[in-house]
Structure 1
Amino acid sequence: MGVRFVGIDPNTGTANSPTVWVDDADGTIMIQGFTASESQITQVLAAGHGPDHENTIPAHETVIHIPARMVPILRKACDDAERSQLH
Protein backbone atom coordinates (compact mmCIF):
# COMPACT_ATOMS: atom_id res chain seq x y z
CA MET A 1 0.00 0.00 0.00
CA GLY A 2 2.72 2.50 0.89
CA VAL A 3 2.58 5.81 2.69
CA ARG A 4 -0.84 7.36 3.12
CA PHE A 5 -1.70 10.97 3.99
CA VAL A 6 -3.74 11.16 7.22
CA GLY A 7 -4.15 14.87 7.86
CA ILE A 8 -2.73 18.36 7.87
CA ASP A 9 -2.96 21.24 10.34
CA PRO A 10 -6.37 22.71 9.55
CA ASN A 11 -5.22 26.26 10.33
CA THR A 12 -2.44 26.47 7.77
CA GLY A 13 -2.50 27.93 4.33
CA THR A 14 -0.23 26.64 1.61
CA ALA A 15 2.99 26.79 3.66
CA ASN A 16 4.20 25.77 7.13
CA SER A 17 1.92 22.79 7.21
CA PRO A 18 2.43 20.20 9.95
CA THR A 19 1.31 16.94 8.36
CA VAL A 20 0.83 13.31 9.40
CA TRP A 21 1.21 10.14 7.30
CA VAL A 22 1.03 6.41 8.02
CA ASP A 23 3.01 3.69 6.26
CA ASP A 24 0.46 0.92 5.92
CA ALA A 25 3.19 -1.65 5.29
CA ASP A 26 4.79 -1.38 8.74
CA GLY A 27 2.52 0.95 10.73
CA THR A 28 5.10 3.71 10.95
CA ILE A 29 3.69 7.15 11.71
CA MET A 30 5.54 10.02 10.05
CA ILE A 31 5.10 13.60 11.23
CA GLN A 32 6.16 16.87 9.65
CA GLY A 33 6.21 19.63 12.23
CA PHE A 34 7.92 22.79 13.25
CA THR A 35 11.53 22.48 14.40
CA ALA A 36 11.67 22.90 18.16
CA SER A 37 13.32 26.05 19.43
CA GLU A 38 16.40 25.95 21.66
CA SER A 39 14.14 26.86 24.58
CA GLN A 40 11.82 23.93 23.83
CA ILE A 41 14.77 21.54 23.48
CA THR A 42 16.13 22.74 26.83
CA GLN A 43 12.73 22.03 28.40
CA VAL A 44 12.60 18.57 26.79
CA LEU A 45 16.05 17.73 28.12
CA ALA A 46 15.07 19.01 31.58
CA ALA A 47 12.00 16.73 31.51
CA GLY A 48 14.25 13.75 30.79
CA HIS A 49 13.93 10.64 28.68
CA GLY A 50 12.83 8.11 31.27
CA PRO A 51 14.75 5.38 33.06
CA ASP A 52 17.68 3.69 31.36
CA HIS A 53 17.89 6.27 28.56
CA GLU A 54 20.56 8.85 27.94
CA ASN A 55 19.21 12.36 28.32
CA THR A 56 20.36 13.49 24.88
CA ILE A 57 18.94 14.04 21.44
CA PRO A 58 21.11 12.02 19.05
CA ALA A 59 22.30 13.61 15.81
CA HIS A 60 20.02 11.32 13.78
CA GLU A 61 16.90 12.42 15.73
CA THR A 62 15.13 15.73 16.20
CA VAL A 63 12.42 17.30 18.33
CA ILE A 64 9.44 18.78 16.53
CA HIS A 65 6.31 20.42 17.78
CA ILE A 66 2.87 20.43 16.27
CA PRO A 67 -0.25 22.35 17.29
CA ALA A 68 -2.54 20.76 19.88
CA ARG A 69 -5.41 21.23 17.41
CA MET A 70 -3.88 18.30 15.48
CA VAL A 71 -4.58 15.79 18.29
CA PRO A 72 -7.57 14.31 16.38
CA ILE A 73 -5.30 13.75 13.35
CA LEU A 74 -2.68 12.05 15.54
CA ARG A 75 -5.35 9.83 17.10
CA LYS A 76 -6.49 8.79 13.64
CA ALA A 77 -2.88 8.09 12.61
CA CYS A 78 -2.37 5.94 15.72
CA ASP A 79 -5.58 4.02 15.04
CA ASP A 80 -4.67 3.54 11.38
CA ALA A 81 -1.13 2.41 12.24
CA GLU A 82 -2.47 -0.07 14.78
CA ARG A 83 -4.99 -1.46 12.29
CA SER A 84 -2.24 -1.89 9.67
CA GLN A 85 -0.43 -4.22 12.09
CA LEU A 86 -3.50 -6.43 12.46
CA HIS A 87 -3.42 -7.54 8.82
Structure 2
Amino acid sequence: MALWFIGIDPDSDDDHCPAVWVDTEAPHEPHLLLQGWLADEATNRECSKNSPRPDTEAVIRIPARMVALIREACDAAERAAELR
Protein backbone atom coordinates (compact mmCIF):
# COMPACT_ATOMS: atom_id res chain seq x y z
CA MET A 1 0.00 0.00 0.00
CA ALA A 2 1.39 3.39 -0.98
CA LEU A 3 -0.22 6.14 1.07
CA TRP A 4 0.49 9.71 0.06
CA PHE A 5 -0.05 11.91 3.11
CA ILE A 6 -1.70 15.18 2.11
CA GLY A 7 -2.11 16.85 5.50
CA ILE A 8 -3.98 17.26 8.77
CA ASP A 9 -6.47 19.85 9.92
CA PRO A 10 -4.27 22.87 10.65
CA ASP A 11 -6.47 23.92 13.56
CA SER A 12 -6.65 20.56 15.33
CA ASP A 13 -5.01 19.74 18.63
CA ASP A 14 -2.80 16.74 19.36
CA ASP A 15 -5.77 14.52 20.28
CA HIS A 16 -8.05 15.38 17.34
CA CYS A 17 -6.37 15.27 13.96
CA PRO A 18 -8.66 14.93 10.95
CA ALA A 19 -6.37 14.01 8.08
CA VAL A 20 -6.30 13.22 4.35
CA TRP A 21 -4.28 10.65 2.36
CA VAL A 22 -4.35 9.21 -1.16
CA ASP A 23 -3.84 5.46 -1.66
CA THR A 24 -2.10 5.39 -5.03
CA GLU A 25 -2.07 1.58 -5.22
CA ALA A 26 -5.72 0.84 -4.43
CA PRO A 27 -7.34 -1.69 -6.78
CA HIS A 28 -8.70 -0.21 -10.02
CA GLU A 29 -8.08 3.48 -9.15
CA PRO A 30 -6.58 5.70 -6.43
CA HIS A 31 -8.68 6.18 -3.29
CA LEU A 32 -8.97 9.08 -0.86
CA LEU A 33 -8.60 8.19 2.82
CA LEU A 34 -10.21 10.58 5.28
CA GLN A 35 -9.79 10.56 9.04
CA GLY A 36 -12.43 12.51 10.89
CA TRP A 37 -14.76 12.49 13.83
CA LEU A 38 -17.38 9.74 13.86
CA ALA A 39 -20.86 11.12 13.32
CA ASP A 40 -23.35 10.84 16.17
CA GLU A 41 -26.40 8.56 16.00
CA ALA A 42 -28.80 11.33 14.95
CA THR A 43 -26.52 12.25 12.04
CA ASN A 44 -26.13 8.57 11.08
CA ARG A 45 -29.92 8.13 11.03
CA GLU A 46 -30.40 11.22 8.86
CA CYS A 47 -27.66 10.15 6.43
CA SER A 48 -29.15 6.64 6.22
CA LYS A 49 -32.31 8.13 4.74
CA ASN A 50 -30.35 8.80 1.54
CA SER A 51 -27.68 6.11 1.68
CA PRO A 52 -27.99 3.01 3.87
CA ARG A 53 -24.70 2.32 5.63
CA PRO A 54 -23.32 -1.22 5.91
CA ASP A 55 -21.15 -2.22 8.87
CA THR A 56 -18.03 -1.74 6.74
CA GLU A 57 -18.67 1.99 6.29
CA ALA A 58 -18.83 5.02 8.58
CA VAL A 59 -20.10 8.57 8.37
CA ILE A 60 -17.40 10.98 9.50
CA ARG A 61 -17.20 14.72 10.00
CA ILE A 62 -14.46 16.77 8.35
CA PRO A 63 -14.24 20.50 9.12
CA ALA A 64 -14.89 22.78 6.14
CA ARG A 65 -11.52 24.43 6.76
CA MET A 66 -9.99 21.24 5.30
CA VAL A 67 -11.54 21.78 1.84
CA ALA A 68 -8.18 22.89 0.40
CA LEU A 69 -6.53 19.68 1.64
CA ILE A 70 -9.33 17.56 0.19
CA ARG A 71 -9.01 19.39 -3.17
CA GLU A 72 -5.27 18.73 -3.09
CA ALA A 73 -5.96 15.04 -2.42
CA CYS A 74 -8.44 14.92 -5.32
CA ASP A 75 -5.85 16.44 -7.65
CA ALA A 76 -3.21 13.98 -6.42
CA ALA A 77 -5.58 11.04 -6.96
CA GLU A 78 -6.31 12.20 -10.50
CA ARG A 79 -2.58 12.52 -11.26
CA ALA A 80 -1.95 9.05 -9.83
CA ALA A 81 -4.76 7.61 -11.95
CA GLU A 82 -3.22 9.13 -15.09
CA LEU A 83 0.09 7.40 -14.29
CA ARG A 84 -1.47 3.93 -14.15
Query: Do Structure 1 and Structure 2 share a fold, with TM-score over 0.5?
Result: yes
Residue correspondences, number: 80
Percent same amino acid at aligned positions?
40
Question: For the aligned residues, what is the CA RMSD?
Answer: 1.4
SS in 2 for 1:86: helix
The aligned counterpart of 2:79 is: 83
- Aligned equivalents of 2:2, 2:10: Cα separation in 1: 24
- Aligned equivalents of 1:68, 1:37: Cα separation in 2: 18
The aligned counterpart of 1:41 is: 44
Larger Rg: 1
Return 5+ residue gaps in structure 2 as ranges.
Answer: none
The aligned counterpart of 1:20 is: 20
Could you tell me how far 1:7 is from its partner in structure 2? 1.1
Could you tell me how far 1:63 is from its partner in structure 2? 0.7
Q: Within the alignment, does 1:58 sit opposite 2:54 as a pair? A: yes
Q: Structure 1 runs of 4+ off > 3 angstroms?
A: none
- Aligned equivalents of 1:9, 1:17: Cα separation in 2: 6
Normalising by structure 1, we get a TM-score of 0.84
Return 5+ residue gaps in structure 1 as ranges.
Answer: 50-55
1:26-66: CA deviation from partner (whole Å, max 9, x where unpaired): 411111110000111122123x13xxxxxx21011111111
